[in-house]
Structure 1
C-alpha cells in the first residue's frame, strides 16, 4: 500500500476485529493474519502492534494469557467483555467513516 498512514488510525479496530473473530491470538499470528487478509498490502510491524496491544490491555479491553509453546513463553490476547462492546462501537464508527468517505470520493455510487 502506497500510503500506510491511512491504516494507522484503524490499527486498534483491526486488532479488536480479529480477536473478536478468533477468540485469542498471539502477536505474530495477528500480523500474519492481517498480511494474509490484505494480500500483503498491509504489514503491521512489531513496533506498531505491541504498543497498541499493551494500550488495549491497560485500558481493560484485552486479557493476556501466557502459555509455554515449544519451550518459549507466548502471550495470547483475548477481548474482555468491555473489549467486545468496544469492538462493536469501533466497527460501527469505521463503517460510518467508510460510508462518508464514499460519498465524498465517489458521490455517483452513493444511493442517497
Structure 2
C-alpha cells in the first residue's frame, strides 16, 4: 500500500479518469475499482474520497444523480463538460510531472568531472 502523501496529489486525477471510463460511479464503487485495478496497492478511505468528490462538485467538475435502490438512495457522480476538459488538462500535467520525476529521480545524472 502506498503512503497517503503519494496518493494525496493524485486522488482527483484517479477519480476523473474512472468517471470518464465508467460514465458514472458511486463512492464505494470508486474505492473498490481503485483497489481492484491497483492490486490492493491503493486503498482510498472515505475521509479522502468524499472531501475530494465534494470539492469536484463545488468546482463544477462533477455532477450528482441520486438513484433510489430499495430503501436506500445512492449518489452517482459523473463528469460535467467542464470536468471532461479538466480531466484532459490534469492528465497532461500528471504525465509531464511523471516524466520530469523520472529524469530527476530514476536516471543517472552524472555530471562531467570538475576540471
Identify the TM-score tier after normalising by the shorter chain.
Answer: over 0.9
| Structure 2 SS opposite 1:39 | coil
| Matched residue, 1:22 | 22
| Matched residue, 2:39 | 39
**For residues 45 and 70 of structure 2, what CA distance do their matches in structure 1 show?**
23
TM (norm. structure 1) is 0.92
**For residues 47 and 6 of structure 1, what CA distance do their matches in structure 2 show?**
16
TM (norm. structure 2) is 0.90
The answer to whether the Cα contact below 8 Å between 1:65 and 1:75 also exists between their aligned partners in 2 is yes
The total of aligned residue pairs comes to 108
1:68 and 2:71 are equivalent in the alignment: no
| Structure 2 SS opposite 1:44 | coil
Structure 1 residues 1-112: aligned runs within 5 Å: 1-107=1-107
Per-residue CA deviation, residues 41-66 of structure 1 (Å, 9 max, x unaligned), is: 11000111011101100100111000
| Structure 2 SS opposite 1:107 | coil
Per-residue CA deviation, residues 49-92 of structure 1 (Å, 9 max, x unaligned), is: 01110110010011100001132100000000000000000000
Instruction: Using the TM superposition, give the Cα deviation of residue 2 of structure 1 relative to its aligned residue in structure 2, in angstroms.
Output: 4.5
The answer to whether the Cα contact below 8 Å between 1:4 and 1:42 also exists between their aligned partners in 2 is no
**For residues 10 and 3 of structure 1, what CA distance do their matches in structure 2 show?**
12
Decide which structure has the larger Cα Rg and report it: 2
Structure 2 residues without counterparts, runs of 5 or longer: 109-115
* RMSD of aligned residue pairs (Cα, Å): 1.0
**For residues 2 and 31 of structure 2, what CA distance do their matches in structure 1 show?**
18
Structure 1 residues without counterparts, runs of 5 or longer: none
